[in-house]
Amino acid sequence: MLQPGVPISDDPISRDILLQAAVAASHAAGALLLKYAEAGFRIEYKNPVNLVTDADRAAEQCVIDCIQAHFPTHRFLAEERGRLEETPSPYLWIIDPLDGTTNFAHGYPTYCVSIGLEYEGRCVLGVIFDPSRGELFTAVEQRGAQLNGRPIHVSNARTLDSSLLVTGFAYDIRETPHNNLDHFVRFALKAQGLRRTGSAALDLCYVAAGRFDGFWEVRLNPWDMAAGSVIVREAGGRLTDFGGKDLSIYGRELVASNGQIHNAMLAVLNQKTP
């Protein structure tokens, strides 16, 4: 059992203990985000469409503090602080303290805390907490995926015609021709419906829960994908790049689906513009 603030030294550490620590950290950071949402926050602009708030930074510190209290030797890769001091630990926590910052800044309640864990380079655990809805998505390698403790599974849609798809756009949308608008237009004409929620981590959870049938995006970062990729995989979904190779969270292309529509999605993504 995990005792508050007590360091754990065993290695390998039980997955239950790691999960408990990640869940506690996600709840603490989620509560902090709700507090900032109510009390107000400061916004800084990385560019006109890419912003960061003091809530992002506070939530990140909160997650790191919670996890470090138990695992002081573990490594961290966090969106706002980057890589923390390197130790030889096989554990790497990959954190997006606030996925959906633009939504958060506008009071649009679709954002989350995302905490993934790599062990020896493989993503083995994912926790994503949506504090506005009180939805906690969790997965541990080979143990399935859960929403608030109940098993979840990807959908059964077999065709794009019957699929609800989701995507997102990177912050350099104005600077690059590889801005995903071409794919967006094609899928808009093929899918039953298309959404852009503004939180890649929740998009992955919704594929895992069967709410979306497929999700694709370009130029995501490891912290957008780490936790969600475990959750989709454990919910029975498939994750690749646009070429159909197994997903690397350090790559820049992601396709996540229920498996059944995956090849149809790849075909659209690889269609040559006439």
Nearest approach, Cβ of residue 143 and ligand IPD (Å):
26
Among Ca ion, ligand IPD, none, partner that 220 touches (CB below 5 to 8 angstroms by kind): ligand IPD
Positions in 184-223 near ligand IPD (CB under 6 A): 198-200, 217, 220
Interaction of residue 253 with Ca ion, rule CB under 5 A: no
Among ligand IPD, Ca ion, none, partner that 60 touches (CB below 5 to 8 angstroms by kind): none
Please give the Cα distance from 227 to 208 (Å, whole number): 12
With CB under 5 A as the contact rule, which of the stretches 8-16, 73-81, 117-125, 204-212 interacts with Ca ion? 73-81
* Per-position DSSP letters for 69-114, written without gaps between them: HH-TT-EEEETTTEE-S--S-SEEEEEEEEE-HHHHHHT----EEE
Contacts with ligand IPD by CB under 6 A: the residue count is 13
Cβ distance 241 to 253 under 8 Å? yes
84 burial type by CB count under 10 A (0-12 exposed, 13-18 middle, 19+ buried):
middle
For ligand IPD, the closer of residues 57 and 70 by Cβ is: 57
Q: Identify the three-state secondary structure at position 148.
A: coil
Interaction of residue 169 with ligand IPD, rule CB under 6 A: yes
With CB under 5 A as the contact rule, the residue among 74, 92, 99, 215 that binds Ca ion is: 99
Interaction of residue 170 with ligand IPD, rule CB under 6 A: yes
C-alpha 148: how far from chain center: 17
Interaction of residue 224 with Ca ion, rule CB under 5 A: yes
Cβ distance 100 to 110 under 8 Å? yes
* Residue 48: cis peptide before it, omega within 30 degrees of 0: no
Instruction: Using CB under 5 A, list all residues that contact Ca ion.
Output: 79, 96, 98-99, 224
| Residues contributing to the site for ligand IPD (CB under 6 A) | 96, 99-101, 168-170, 198-200, 217, 220, 224
